[in-house]
Structure 1
Amino acid sequence: MARMVFCRKFQQEMEGLDVPPMPGAKGQELFDSVSKQAWQEWLNHQTMLINEKHLNMMDLTARAYLNEQRDKFFAGDAIDSVEGYVPPSE
């Protein structure tokens, strides 16, 4: 049976992550309050941010930027869009 959490992104009970997505207190917080679906959506958006903004993940400011965007994403706040991204047509 899947582990259920109250997802703070979607504000409903949903299937939770299988393991914390990162070590430490932040990873545990995400594990306890973010659904698999919300986490996957964040990973997709994060990948687009890294690619379109040419972020260097060795740069601490780029990592801090992504952490800030992740927190805003899960809180439902406005996040930076990806300039130039055009979703594929169906």
Structure 2
Amino acid sequence: MTRSVFCKKYQQEMEGLARPPYPGPRGQEVFDNVSRQAWEEWLQHQTRLINEKHLNMMDADARKYLAEQMDKFFSGDDYDKAEGYVPEKS
């Protein structure tokens, strides 16, 4: 059985994650308030940001930047896009 959450990105009840994506309060906050669909979209966007901006995940500033972008992504604020990304045509 799937669990539902009120997704803060889409502002509606949607399927939630099966477990918190990482430990601690931040992971629990994502688990409680972000849908599986929004999380998967974030992971794809995060990968594009890391690749396009050549982020080193060993760098604390890069991790802080991604955390800020994740908050903006889920809250509907204006977030950074990967400059070279062109979506595939379906």
Q: Identity percentage over the alignment?
A: 69
Q: CA deviation at 1:84?
A: 1.2
Give the aligned partner of residue 44 of structure 2.
44
In the alignment, structure 1 segments of 5+ residues that lack a partner are none
Which contiguous aligned blocks of 4+ residues in structure 1 show a shift greater than 4 angstroms?
Answer: none
Give the aligned partner of residue 6 of structure 1.
6
Q: CA deviation at 1:15?
A: 0.3
TM-score, normalisation: structure 2:
0.97
TM-score, normalisation: structure 1:
0.97
Give the aligned partner of residue 59 of structure 1.
59
Deviations 1:10-57 (A, max 9, x none): 000000000001100111111000000000000000000000000000
- Measure, in 2, the Cα distance between the counterparts of 1:58 and 1:83: 23
Alpha carbon RMSD of aligned pairs, Å?
A: 0.7
- Measure, in 2, the Cα distance between the counterparts of 1:2 and 1:63: 31
Letter in 2 for 1:59: D
Give the aligned partner of residue 30 of structure 2.
30
- Measure, in 2, the Cα distance between the counterparts of 1:89 and 1:29: 34
In the alignment, structure 2 segments of 5+ residues that lack a partner are none
Give the aligned partner of residue 88 of structure 1.
88
Q: CA deviation at 1:86?
A: 1.3
